[in-house]
Chain A
Amino acid sequence: MSWLVGNAGQIWQLTVVHAALSAIPIVIGFALAIPVGWFANRHRASRGTVLAVVGVVYAVPSLPLFIALPSILGTRILDPVNVVVALSLYALAIMVRTASDAFASVDVDVLLSATAVGFSTWRRFWSVELPLAGPVLLSGIRVVSVSTISLLSVGSVIGVTSLGYFFLDGFQRGFALEILVGIVGTVVIAVVFDTVLTIVGRLLLPWARRRAASHRPATPAGADLAGAA
């Protein structure tokens, strides 16, 4: 207990850093996956290639990638940029497939009729395709969020500050409480992010919720977190 009190400042600080360092790759990966996924869905012939490439990226183990990136990017080994870039790549790799599926899930008739009533291609993308791909995109970013938050801990091995520090330090000292703090902190961040994403999804996609609601009446709060939106 006294350890907790004595290190409250550091626990808080690492939690904030961990949250910030995970948020950036989640956003970058999501933003990049949308045009790539859209392209892969639109140009069916390219889909296989695109998915194969992102599959390979995802298969690269994280630790070697963290270590290799400084020489590729010309950054210092301890620079958090390395981890952010690596995690963005993973986020992109997971998200591209989902984004491609998300755009494929949009009813072709709806798109055709949008064109028929006079949406330009650009306008149709922003006001029809993207929102309708929303529910699947949301389920994808929730997966990316959890995976990024847990992967970030691995960065501690190469000295990037995150909650992973508590695992390492705790293991070295054989101190269970410290390990537990690392785990609980990571889970708390994951739950907070997921809740925020779910709320943002509800605000941005009210129609999807109503439709889902008409299919299954009441959902317990906990089940809601786990189920895809």
Chain B
Amino acid sequence: MIEFRSVTKQFPDGTVAVREFSLVIPSRRITVLAGSSGSGKTTILRMINRMVDPSSGAIEIDGADISTLEPVRLRRGIGYVMQNSGLLPHRKVVDNIATVPLLRGEKRKDARARALDLMDTVGLDRALADRYPSQLSGGQQQRVGVARGLAVDPNILLMDEPFGAVDPLVRAELQQELLRLQHDLGKTVVFVTHDIDEAFLLGDQVVIFKPGGVVAQIGTPQQILAEPADEFVTRFVGADRGKRALHVRSEGGRDVVLDADGRPAGVLVGAAPTRDEAGAAAAAPGASAQGDRPR
């Protein structure tokens, strides 16, 4: 468990990136930080591994105040994945994945063997092991980034817009992969994104930020959709434009779910709509609609 206790971060130039921020990040769950650009998400993430130290307030990991921990040691125990993967361009894929185990003093042979296993875990062909990062596609690079983040088997994985720079299809694939990994490995994931759909897809807990480092709402995707805390959240999740409103229409004896633009989103299975057909609305992520939503 990671706990922020009224944490404020003011940079030397006077910018207050995070203001009186409190949050409990439960273990073995995905917590997503979403919100407008410049709202302090990256800063919050970087405070967890002491890349940035708070100006006031405290951060605890499993009850230990991290300001008492040695930053370099702390970082070697926490996975970190960022946009554009941040891989070392002068190291081969396998050595990139083995970076942190090697920093920790593991034997080269063991570290490489484990790196190859991790390539399987994140769905990378082992044939790519001896390539340099520039010789991989963007999606492959992100997988290497994830594998590197997992290499020391950390309890905590910090991910800063890790899928922001890949095309929508690859992104969807990586998102599913992350959900699968999370299911299998049970890491505590803190995930930063701009994309509210991604936030709702991945997050067990979602934190929505307003500009200026102010929290707009904290909750499960269902809670946020059902009861947006304010105007900002409503707009941010797109509920105001009816983007999230799904309609059910009977078609050839089956209940077809349509999105706001009237495009088919899926087929309703299980419970039939309780209210009258045309008025039935379901929230997107929680809806029992089956099949992929075409985009």
Contacts and interface: CB of A to CB of B under 8 A. Distances in A.
Interface of A: 107, 109-110, 112-120, 123, 128, 131-132, 134, 205, 207-208, 210-211, 214
List the 10 closest A-B pairs by CB distance, nearest first. Answer: A113-B86, A118-B76, A118-B75, A116-B80, A207-B90, A207-B132, A211-B134, A131-B90, A120-B72, A117-B100
Given A109-B82, A120-B72, A207-B132, A115 B100 contact: no
A134 to B, nearest CB: 8
Contact of B103 (A123, A205, A214): A123
A113 B89 contact: no
A107 to B, nearest CB: 8
Of the candidates B84, B90, B91, B104, the one having the most CB atoms from chain A within 10 angstroms of its own CB is B90
Nearest to A119: B103
Interface residues of B, number: 26
Given A118-B75, A119-B72, 19 more contacts: A109-B86, A110-B89, A112-B51, A112-B86, A113-B85, A113-B87, A114-B88, A115-B51, A116-B46, A116-B80, A116-B86, A116-B158, A118-B76, A118-B100, A131-B90, A132-B89, A205-B90, A207-B90, A214-B134
Contacts of B121: none
B8 interface: no
B82 A116 contact: yes
B31 to A, nearest CB: 18
B84 A109 contact: yes
Interface of B: 46, 49, 51, 72-73, 75-76, 80, 82, 84-91, 99-100, 103-104, 132, 134-135, 148, 158
A10 B232 CA distance: 85
Nearest to B160: A116
A119 B148 CA distance: 14
A42 B103 CA distance: 24
Contacts of B103: 117-119, 123
B75 A116 contact: yes
Contacts of B51: 112, 115-116
A118 B100 CA distance: 7
Contacts of A109: 82, 84, 86
Nearest to B149: A117
A110 B76 contact: no
A214 B135 contact: yes
A117 B148 contact: yes
A45 to B, nearest CB: 14
Nearest to B85: A113
Contacts of B75: 115-118
Nearest to B90: A207
A134 B90 CA distance: 10
Contacts of A123: 103
A197 B72 CA distance: 36
Of the candidates B72, B87, B100, the one having the most CB atoms from chain A within 10 angstroms of its own CB is B72
Contacts of A205: 90
Contact of A210 (B76, B84, B135): B135
Contacts of A118: 72-73, 75-76, 100, 103-104
B76 A207 contact: no
Contacts of A134: 90
A114 B158 CA distance: 14
Contact of B76 (A113, A117, A214): A117
A194 B246 CA distance: 69
B89 A207 contact: yes
Nearest to A210: B132
A132 B84 contact: no
Contacts of A116: 46, 49, 51, 75, 80, 82, 86, 158
Contacts of B89: 107, 110, 132, 207, 211
B248 to A, nearest CB: 46
Contacts of B72: 118-120
Nearest to B92: A207
Contacts of A117: 75-76, 80, 99-100, 103, 148
A211 B214 CA distance: 43
28 contacts: A107-B89, A109-B82, A109-B84, A109-B86, A110-B88, A112-B82, A113-B86, A114-B86, A114-B88, A115-B51, A116-B46, A116-B51, A116-B80, A116-B158, A117-B76, A117-B80, A117-B148, A118-B72, A118-B76, A118-B103, A128-B90, A205-B90, A207-B91, A208-B90, A210-B134, A210-B135, A211-B134, A214-B135
